[in-house]
Amino acid sequence: MRSTRLRSLPAAATGASDAADTAEAERRVGLMHAALNTAALSAFSASWVLRRSPGQGKISALVGLSFLGASGWLGGHLSYAMGVGVDTTAFSRPLADWTDVCEVTELIDGQPRSFAVDGLSVLLVSRAGRIDAMLNRCTHRGAPLDEGKLVGDWPRPASPRQ
């Protein structure tokens, strides 16, 4: 039982980290997910204590399983429907064709610039004569990348095969 409680600590820490980046509906669902996990752990702990006596603790374990099932459903909803803790660009549809958005001379070396293409925001960066394009969206929380600062050697240098 102790190892189960210890294993729940890293899961709670990652959940708290994800919760720090959420707001409104995501945060409310996340808090309910955490509360149900805590209730499940409490019920399983009570079941462990009660099972020292013959025939006791089964109802507490069933309650724990109920809490755990509801919490698991909410956790799946947070990840797969709300995109918490996953690559949020996974919900974006890719562009089907190449689309011209500007003249190369309009790009300033090292200065990110965004363009709207078929309802998607695309980021272009010109560095040393090379132009890189990507979705203008942070994969972690979906923030617009063009509002950030270009740091270091991004985009990565081209591989020798390119």
The domain ranges of the chain are 2-86, 90-147
Around Cβ 9, how many Cβ atoms within 10 Å? 8
92-141 per-position pLDDT tens digit: 777 778 888 888 888 888 888 999 888 888 889 888 888 888 888 877 66
Looking at residue 20, its pLDDT comes to 76
**CB 36 within 8 Å of CB 74:** yes
pLDDT in tens, 11-52: 777 777 777 777 888 889 988 999 999 899 899 989 999 988
Note the pTM of the prediction, 2 decimals.
Answer: 0.57
Domain 90-147 has CATH 3.40.47.10: no
Q: Report d(CA 35, CA 66) in Å as an integer.
A: 13
In sequence order, what are the beta bridge partners of 120? 117
Q: What digits encode the pLDDT tens for the residues 140-159?
A: 667 788 888 887 765 555 55
Residue pLDDT, tens place only, 41-86: 899 989 999 988 777 889 999 999 999 999 999 999 988 888 777 7
SS3 1: coil
Q: Which of 99, 98, 73, 78 lies closest to 88 in space, CA to CA?
A: 78
